[in-house]
A and B are shown apart, each in its own frame.
Chain A
Amino acid sequence: MGKIILEYLDGNRIYVCTKCHIHLSNYESIISKNFRGGTGKAFLFEQGINYHVGIPEDKDLMTGKHTVQDLICNGCNQVIGWKYIKAYRESEKYKEGKIIIERHYIKRIKWN
């Protein structure tokens, strides 16, 4: 397949995938740490890199009905979270376009 093209992040406090160590997001992009996924704690990030998304689905989450798609790591093709496409409740609209990555799948590098 060849070596896949990877993006990188400058600066400190970067979150990387535990399995393949590619850069996913950083501390500056965190919006909230109070989320929960299948494996436990999860973070809401404004943006991330080196991922691709799966098929959009409608799901009933704790906070209501949303349209989400799986977030898949480019390096190891593992599902590590999800991305909000649409929120049906007004109070949840702020999440649209943002991504959730579960704490279990990421680790910190360049932390001071």
Chain B
Amino acid sequence: MQVYDNLALQEVQSISVDDSPDRLKEIIRMILQELNQMGYDDVCKILEDESQTKLDTTQISELKESFLNGDYENILQQLDYSDIINRKLQFEIQKQLYLEIVQQRNYEQAVNLLRQLSEYNEQESQVLAKLIFLQEDASQLYAQLGIPIDQKEQRLQLYQKSLNLLNFGDFSLQTQFDKVIDQALEYQIKRCPYHNDSNENKNYSLLIDHNCQSYQIPKNNSILFQGFDDEVWIGKFSNSGIWIGCATRKNSIYIISKDYQYKINKAHGMDINSLVFSSDDKLLFSGSNDKKINVYDVQTAQLKVTINQHTNEVLCLAYFKNHLFSGGVDGWIGIWQDNGKLVNQIKSKVVKNILLTDQYLLLHNAAIFSITVIENDFKFNKIITHMEEQELIVSSAVSQNQQFLVLNVSKEKPKLHLWSLKTFQKQHVFFGFQVKGIELKCCFGSKKDNYVCVGSQDGKVYFFNKNNQLQQNIINGHNQAINFVDWHSQTAQLLTASDDKTVKIWTQDQVVQQQIINIINEQEQPSNTQLSEIVEEQNDHEEEEYQQQSEGDQSF
């Protein structure tokens, strides 16, 4: 198992430390600034003496003197930055001037200055006005403005604020030290390959570099299903995670759970394009190139209904709020009830995939390179936008939180495009996996949909962190191409279906022993004797009595 752990750690270790004398001086001055702000003046003096480094250059010292003396005109002459900064600075200095004038009870001059101040910032000016007109408790008003009462301290604060404005563009009392820490954390988070935004991870210690663990990737193979009759092209979890539905190249459908398995031989006459479970997992729908949609009962694998109304290939199915949506070459999308009755038709182009969220109906068009976004009201006639691509979109998937869409655009070069469903903009491109002309399914997974997962033609599974584009985890899943990946949101299990005629289930937890389950083929006898009871039941599964499926956690 190849795991690319700690990419960020490797990078940080390769950074060389700069210990030139200039660098050391800078570090000391940064520390002095921080200590100064924290109020540790004595310590500052000691450090300055011992290190022979002063925080302020002579230029800055002179500037500081001007501030402490109230020499405001001189200050404004000396400093000449952008217009915005000048204006802000001017306001702050005038504000201080106003406060000092009011102290001196020079009310006429104060009111004139107040007029100028209110042009720039009305809210604060109103508070300042109260100082003259209301003669209220001055200390309360000072607290409201965030200014100390003592004049010397006021001037010192103004000086610090001005320095901040010139350095950072705003008046918050931040030091360079703080700024550097913020930037470093941001950098580390960006470089963290397994980073996830959940709250458990929010306390970053400054003493160690930030590094999330890769615990969210299901890299342990817990179950292997073998014995399918041919390449497995579709493998999907049911909504509860108890069942999986598979379709193979020989057009057979398998319905498998922990307790029993069904094989529906020759379910269709041609390629099966799509399998979906109903919301209550009672029904399994299959759509095929033979233009039919079959409805099977999951518990008994009996064919309940066949929908024949499409006159061309059925390319995709979707299930949403008790209705089945079907689309294909016909040019219309059918909305059906569980019993096969047609409820509505939506005109469309040739549709390769239908994706439904609470807000939208997304149509993955097969002939034009775009996704059509339609509002999900009962009528479906309002087109909101088109998400355009430059080349053929092979497969598509929506995240659990319905905010993101991932598209496999791998006709020429293998890559995935991540789109936001809020802004309808393309956000990321992921590449690194291999494809040569076959359809590979991609999907989202893990809490908060942090990962995008895709199988590859060489049998590996690739996981990409949605938030930062570093490729991060590859599992050696199978020895042949992986056609379908399905990541179940609640049980956090991953299913991979491959050309090597097997399906594997992967979990996050450590697996003591891999469980191998042989899929029963009618012709063969299974070698695993523990399953022999089930074999006898399978032979006449149409007349079987079935055990009640008990409630409780029966996921794989």
Contacts and interface: CB of A to CB of B under 8 A. Distances in A.
Most buried by B among A4, A5, A9, A110: A5
B481 interface: yes
By DSSP majority rule, is chain A's interface helix, strand, loop, or mixed? loop
A38 interface: no
A55 B39 CA distance: 82
Contact of A10 (B289, B368, B440, B499): B368
Interface residues of B, number: 29
A3 interface: yes
A1 B350 contact: no
Contacts of A2: 231, 233, 438-440, 457, 481, 483, 499
B231 A1 contact: yes
Contacts of A4: 437-439
A110 B312 CA distance: 8
A90 interface: no
A109 B367 CA distance: 16
Nearest to B249: A3
A21 B289 contact: yes
Contacts of B367: 7-10
Contact of B394 (A5, A9, A23): A5
A8 B483 CA distance: 20
B349 A10 contact: yes
A1 B438 contact: yes
Nearest to B290: A21
Contacts of B368: 10
B312 A109 contact: yes
Contacts of B483: 2-3
Interface string A4-34: 1101111000000000010100000000000
B312 A7 contact: no
A3 B230 CA distance: 12
B313 A5 contact: no
B392 A3 contact: no
13 contacts: A1-B481, A2-B231, A2-B440, A2-B481, A4-B438, A5-B392, A7-B367, A8-B352, A10-B365, A10-B368, A21-B270, A21-B289, A110-B312
Given A3-B249, A4-B437, 7 more contacts: A2-B231, A2-B483, A5-B411, A8-B366, A8-B367, A21-B313, A110-B329
CB-CB nearest 5 A-B residue pairs: A2-B438, A8-B366, A10-B367, A8-B350, A3-B439
